[in-house]
Amino acid sequence: MADLSAFPITKRWPAKDPSVIQLYSFPTPNGVKASIALEEMGLAYEPHLVTLSDADVKSDAFLSLNPNNKIPAIIDPNGPDGPIGIFESGAILLYLAEKSGKFLGATASDKAKITQWLMFQMGGLGPMLGQMGFFYKFAGKDIEDPRPRERYRDEAIRLLAVLEKELDGKDWIVGDYSIADMAIAPWLNALEFYGTKDVVGYNDLKNVPAYVERFFARPAVAKAKRIPDPS
Ligand SMILES: N[C@@H](CCC(=O)N[C@@H](CS)C(=O)NCC(=O)O)C(=O)O
């Protein structure tokens, strides 16, 4: 039986089965990337609900696994050299894809392209849409100066146009479904939550909405999008 006692987080969120991957998350676009990957790859795991309140993500227990106080994070008791903790959703996707041998492309070129689009999400799509959400739905909406709102709106529109073009004639962003899709599609879905679909002209697009629908119709995705159960 794996011993996870070296990870202080397991005191606050105890592992029922320490022999399987421990997931610490909340079902946001970044959080569900990890649960979607675990479900799609058929890896055994145990989800723990870590809310976005300071009492959870900024607790000493959570910071011991992710000093950057953000979900998702995992512990793999069966890492390459023994138990390993990992944070940053993109790093988790790459790690799980390498571990399972799935969704990272069949060739070195596919792998490079999948990594490229994963980075596009991590460095562009996610941060820009997240900031747009702040300025349209959350505290930023009360700021009178329209420039931050317009800046993130315009960047979101530009990024959506990039994806609309890339997805022309394709079901998935690279080849036959990959961790790049697991990163990108949950973020596109966040436009609904932010109430910004009209603002960015989402319904005037063709390929992007069809892609998001295709993604959420996958049984593993439909299941994982509420893991860990927030209720
Ligand atoms: N780059 C990080 C971002 C993760 C992130 O922003 N997580 C948010 C929820 S989507 C969070 O935990 N926020 C809590 C906080 O910042 O206090 C990743 O992709 O894992």
Q: Is 178 in the pocket of ligand 1 (CB under 6 A)?
A: no
Q: Does some domain include residue 4? A: no
The residue-averaged pLDDT of 207-222 equals 98
Q: Is the dihedral of CA 156, 157, 162, 165 positive or negative?
A: positive
pTM over 0.85, yes/no? yes
Q: Whose CA is nearest to atom 5 of ligand 1?
A: 70
How much is the pLDDT for 73?
Answer: 99
Shared domain for 57 and 82, answered yes or no, is yes
How much is the pLDDT for 34?
Answer: 99
Q: Does some domain include residue 2? A: no
Predicted confidence (pLDDT) at residue 45 exceeds the cutoff of 90: yes
Number of folded domains in the chain? 2
CA distance 106 to 111: 7
Look over the chain and give the mean of its residue pLDDT values, rounded to a whole number: 98
Q: Does some domain include residue 214? A: yes
How much is the pLDDT for 2?
Answer: 85
CA distance 110 to 213: 24
Q: Containing domain of residue 54, as a range? A: 9-102
Q: Is 131 in the pocket of ligand 1 (CB under 6 A)?
A: no
Shared domain for 94 and 36, answered yes or no, is yes
Q: Does some domain include residue 84? A: yes
Shared domain for 35 and 66, answered yes or no, is yes
Predicted confidence (pLDDT) at residue 117 exceeds the cutoff of 90: yes
How much is the pLDDT for 10?
Answer: 98
Q: Does some domain include residue 226? A: no
Q: Does some domain include residue 228? A: no
**How far, in Å, is the centroid of ligand 1 from the Cα of 71?**
5
pLDDT digits (tens, 9 = 90+) for 128-169: 999 999 999 999 999 999 999 999 999 999 999 999 999 999
**How far, in Å, is the centroid of ligand 1 from the Cα of 225?**
16
Q: Whose CA is nearest to atom 15 of ligand 1?
A: 70
CA distance 167 to 117: 12
- Best probe residue, ligand 1, of 23, 56, 63, 71 (max atoms within 8 Å of C-beta): 71
Q: Does some domain include residue 152? A: yes
Q: In the chain, where do the E strands start and end?
A: 21-25, 45-49, 73-76, 84-87
CA distance 226 to 31: 10
